[in-house]
Structure 1
């Protein structure tokens, strides 16, 4: 029997969407979901590039700009902060406007900060002006939340780890790509306006392609109750804390790495640019791998051991910073970037699994359990993504204070090491520690079960 095709109405809206129906998925659903995924990745990629513009623009800003290292860390902290805050409204914009419609709008909005940066990027501009333009640039960070919420609705639960990892990883690659483009511009003796001039037409292209090839899902309705329920659930905030350790590390280090190399190790902007892109690139590429591993072995297990690796790498960074060993510092920092990318994939895989397991435990079955899990996981992703991105603010402020206090980033790395230890303990205590009566989440439908076990999520 042929599975019914998705029903549509005008304006690229899909009325019927049931990815858990394997017949529907094989006949039409997978093709449509993948098409939306690829163009979502493109727009999110450009959003990440715009969000992280200032991580490379500060490398162009020599003494003639009159900014101190502390000013530059404060500037990148402000950009990261706005990107984090923007993720909350961007999450719910998908339900208000439709996933395709909001992707077009949010891509077009990226022209505002990019054109503004092009206008003011010259010596003599006040630090206050740079801060205000940095505030505008932060909206690029919001694209991640709306993109993830949208793609979460397109894919079945069994495919979410891979799909969300690929969507996020493709977006994250916007960080090393803009750093590579900056490297080429600096190497060709170009200025910051050349870099900005490259991205302005790319933004237009991304918005047009989203308008032509993406779809809205009518089933993703504006549900303020979902936001309230997600905010009241303790797992939303536990996962937000864990996401600070993974994505907060990724975005914070992406903004700070070049500055650390120039301040602590005396690298020139060109020398720093040769090194800064490697870590974000590899960290972005392995994010889908983290999702795939989580699909197979359970996100909680992958996340737990990932924090062990992040803590170990950070301990080596403390030693490298104290010894001023540039080769060791750079090589281990790249490993830390890769681990943060793996953890990004595994933590985001956990989110839909947790809420689906809770729906089963509450007595829901089949499509009702899937719908409830999708409803709460989609709403929680914006909150988790926003709090996680705040970790990037903390990292830049920690580096700023560490350099102000001691002229070195060692103190900041010690603080990060302690935080990763806390993330390890929390993951184990909540999602892997077995207590009496606890069973795997895969058996969560048993009515006699007293507690959920989340090892498989």
Structure 2
């Protein structure tokens, strides 16, 4: 019998989907995209605030929402197990609209109020921990890789911020990007409240919030997966929020040019995330993860040499986007297979928090390294080192997964009897 690395057979992939599964996936994906749009709203504005003297450095300003959105995923993930995505998606969208409007009408004129707004803007980033368990309840194991990959691709909402914020500001004034984003959040909240279905097999977790989180934290696989997601998704977040600054200071691009360059990076990562999940379903999540981290390693080494933007820098950034995006998709294919349904939210919250924290630190490191050395090369090469560590961790997880499959097969054989 051939070995299946993921433990997922063709029967799982052929299993019919319950009615409403596609609608649930589309609406959840739309919800995360809209929230990502809000979550990344300050990224393209960072260089503008620096140029106008409101902020001395954009790194902290764009990193604070990432930090809050990351840590907030831990309680939100546990709440998702208890209340379901059909409730939490519209609630988080409405709450996230408040800091968007605050920044637009009050906060953007002073650095301290900007930081306050950035803190609460991080709430939008917690929606990831709502969507993964919600999507998991609708899809069988053999389809969860591509389903969670499609959902995760809505992190491309950050590209909406990159390509709309500066043009809206230029055409309609400084409040326009915030008014438009808030309006979209409110519209989605109404749509989600009316149309998000409840999965037929879903039942709320009865475990207390604190206990649910502690159980997730105590899992060895949670911590190993957290490191992998800190590298893959964290690397994506770090570059998506700091790339406008890097392209402006390292390559001399104008704000609008840097925004479009960032949108291209985000687009590549977004398109490759579902592909990573699909290939994880087909060839095994650990194999797909290994390929992704090798690509990240090569791209980071090339970018670390500070090549010219065309073609070397573009190739390096494209490779990194592809590896980081596909790796993020493959990881949650694996996580959905090794975690029981009632704990997916809590585990996703912890792993998602690690991914967001992985995006919080690098912008600060890159800014500090550039201020001291005048180059980003040492900071970029740290990502190459992290990718090597991810390859080692992937091997450890793969060995544990193979052992788990062998144990399950042994039990199945024993239950059949002679």
Normalized against structure 2, the TM-score is what?
Answer: 0.89
Matched, 1:219 2:196: no
Matched, 1:239 2:225: yes
In structure 1, the gaps of 5 or more residues are: 1-20, 356-372, 450-457
For the residues of structure 1 that align with 2:136 and 2:148, how far apart are their CA atoms? 7
SS of 2:44's equivalent in the other structure is helix
1:358 alignment counterpart = none
Bigger drift between 175-184 and 42-51 goes to 175-184
The Cα of 1:432 is off from its aligned counterpart by 4.3
C-alpha contact (below 8 Å) 2:35/2:157 kept by paired residues: yes
Structure with larger RCO (C-alpha < 8 A, sep 6+)? 2
- From the superposition, tell whether residues 405 and 227 of structure 1 become closer, same or farther in structure 2 (CA, over 3 Å): same
2:134 alignment counterpart = 150
For the residues of structure 2 that align with 1:339 and 1:290, how far apart are their CA atoms? 9
For the residues of structure 1 that align with 2:183 and 2:171, how far apart are their CA atoms? 21
For the residues of structure 2 that align with 1:445 and 1:375, how far apart are their CA atoms? 23
1:39 alignment counterpart = 27
C-alpha contact (below 8 Å) 2:47/2:58 kept by paired residues: no
2:377 alignment counterpart = 410
> How big is each residue's C-alpha offset from its partner over 1:270-309, in whole Å with a ceiling of 9 and x where there is no partner?
2212311001012112111100000001101110121111
SS of 1:53's equivalent in the other structure is coil
Query: Where do 1:21-40 residues align within 5 Å?
Result: 26=16, 30-40=18-28
Bigger drift between 29-38 and 205-214 goes to 29-38
1:384 alignment counterpart = 351
The Cα of 1:49 is off from its aligned counterpart by 0.7
The Cα of 1:380 is off from its aligned counterpart by 0.7
2:145 alignment counterpart = 161
Number of residue equivalences: 398
Query: Where do 1:33-432 residues align within 5 Å?
Result: 33-68=21-56, 71-120=57-106, 122=108, 125-169=109-153, 171-185=154-168, 188-216=170-198, 219-224=203-208, 225-319=211-305, 321=306, 323-325=307-309, 327-355=311-339, 373-432=340-399
The Cα of 1:63 is off from its aligned counterpart by 2.6
> How big is each residue's C-alpha offset from its partner over 1:141-183, in whole Å with a ceiling of 9 and x where there is no partner?
10111111221122211211111111111x2110112212125
Matched, 1:441 2:405: yes
For the residues of structure 2 that align with 1:138 and 1:65, how far apart are their CA atoms? 24
For the residues of structure 2 that align with 1:411 and 1:222, how far apart are their CA atoms? 48
1:14 alignment counterpart = none
Q: Which protein shows a greater Rg?
A: 1
For the residues of structure 2 that align with 1:391 and 1:441, how far apart are their CA atoms? 30
C-alpha contact (below 8 Å) 1:177/1:281 kept by paired residues: no
In structure 2, the gaps of 5 or more residues are: 1-10, 414-418
SS of 1:353's equivalent in the other structure is helix
SS of 1:236's equivalent in the other structure is helix
The Cα of 1:62 is off from its aligned counterpart by 4.9
The Cα of 1:439 is off from its aligned counterpart by 5.0
For the residues of structure 2 that align with 1:345 and 1:251, how far apart are their CA atoms? 14
For the residues of structure 2 that align with 1:442 and 1:32, how far apart are their CA atoms? 35
SS of 1:65's equivalent in the other structure is coil
Normalized against structure 1, the TM-score is what?
Answer: 0.82
The Cα of 1:97 is off from its aligned counterpart by 3.0
